[in-house]
Amino acid sequence: MNVLSIDIGFGDTKVVYGTDYGEVIKKFKFPTIVGITQKLEHVENDKILGFENNYYLVGENARHLPSENFIDVSEYKNLEFFAPLFLHTAIEMLKINSDDIDLIVTGLSIAQINNSGYFQNRLKSYTISGVEYIHDRVIVLPQGAGCKILHDKFGLNYPTINTEFLGDKTYIIADIGNNTCDFLLVSNGKTDPNLFQGLEKTGIMLICQKIAKLIAEKHSRNITVGEAKQILDEGVYKLRGQRYYYDKEISEYKQDYLKELIKLIEGRFPSIIDKIEFILLVGGGARIFNNSSNDGFIRVPLSEHEFYNALGFYFFGVDKLKQKDK
């Protein structure tokens, strides 16, 4: 039996696929990009997907489209609407059939978890390019919960089994996405759903907006937040064959963001902040801080930062299938 976990973030979609024995077969990501296009008569292109009366390109296949063709999936309603396309793309990239999947585990930002029923149904049944797809078992977890599951099992160094006992630890998980930040208080090793908090428009898009402003000032070019994220990831702006490096400015933007993030956490958990043992930064946004932030109080995984939710979702699914077998 096999588990597919998919973390559809506003920046990237992370995918983990493996067996119910806990063996990860494949793990990858692709940009959460969807753009509207046209299908030319008599021209075959299996990358173009027919969906809800329109034609679309998804992920890397959509990058070459004009920016005005992109759909803004930083809006939750669009993310939910196009979620089947991202799931379909993940399955196509895995080169498997839907029948090979026994359980799908995904997640939503805590800010949107009340929509989990709609999101679940959206992934259970959909039609793409005239073919109907049905997935009987889909579970939606709050983002941050996957990070807690993986951190309990592997600590900061997946796939090395964790040797630190976390059962009596009190700490905060900050899951930094492109658009959202989710905060999860772990008290004495346990979580309380009432202490989950999610905020929109607090992710690393704030850094990307500063980069976009910088490029506009330096080069008189208007770039999208997605293009700014690529500069953040790669550390270079490419223009007409030239490369421009803004390491100093981007480093300052990162440090400013981290300071504001700590202030945000202090404001959200004022009565507990001085009593916690550490803050764990995970998610795609945590990756940009590398290990330089590991000062004891601020902890960052040594690797797989942005896969912490997807991997946690996967191992949650493994446990679910084991329970079913008993």
Dihedral-angle region of residue 201 (phi above 0 means left; psi in -120 to 50 means alpha; beta otherwise): left
Q: Mean pLDDT across the stretch 299-310?
A: 90
Q: pLDDT (tens digit, 9 = 90+) per residue, 241-287?
A: 999 999 999 999 998 998 999 899 999 888 888 999 999 999 888 88
The closest of 62, 208, 46, 210 to 128, measured between CA atoms, is 46
Among the listed ranges 155-159, 165-169, 220-224, 299-303, which one has the minimum average pLDDT value? 165-169
Average pLDDT of every residue of the chain: 90
**How much is the average pLDDT of 134-150?**
93
Place 294 in a pLDDT band, splitting at 50, 70 and 90. low
pLDDT at 325: 65
Tell me which residue range forms the domain holding 89.
2-144+309-325
Residue 123 within any structural domain of the chain: yes
Asked, for residue 205, whether it belongs to a domain, the answer is: no
Q: Is residue 257 part of a domain?
A: no
Count how many domains the chain has.
Answer: 1
| Residue 210 counted as domain residue | no
Q: Does the residue 109 lie in any domain?
A: yes
Per-residue model confidence as pLDDT tens digits over 152-193: 889 888 988 877 766 678 999 999 988 889 899 998 888 877
Query: Cα–Cα distance between 38 and 55 in angstroms, integer?
Result: 6
> What is the mean predicted confidence (pLDDT) over 282-311?
82
pLDDT at residue 118, as a whole number: 96
Peptide bond into 66 cis (omega under 30): no
Compute the distance between CA of residue 222 and CA of residue 308 in angstroms, rounded to an integer: 33
Strand partners, 129: none
Q: Nearest Cα to 253, choosing from 279, 226, 218, 229?
A: 229
At 162, is the secondary structure helix, strand, or coil? coil
The 3-state DSSP class for residue 19 equals: strand
**83: helix, coil or strand?**
helix
Q: For position 291, what pLDDT does the model report?
A: 54
The answer to the question of residue 174 being in a domain is no
Residue 326: per-residue pLDDT: 57
Q: What is the CATH number of the domain that holds 117?
A: 3.30.420.40
140 located within any domain: yes
Q: Reduced to 3 states, what is the DSSP secondary structure of residue 178?
A: coil
> Rounded to 5 degrees, what are φ and ψ at 145?
-65, -40
Question: What's the CA gap between 312 and 318, in Å, rounded?
Answer: 10
Tokens of 91: 């399955």
For the residues 142-147, what does the mean pLDDT come to? 88
Most trustworthy range by pLDDT among 50-64, 189-203, 259-273? 50-64
SS3 state at 317: helix
Residues 109/143, Cβ–Cβ less than 8 Å: yes
Evaluate whether 288 touches 253 at the Cβ level (below 8 Å): no
Cis peptide before 159 (omega within 30 of 0): yes
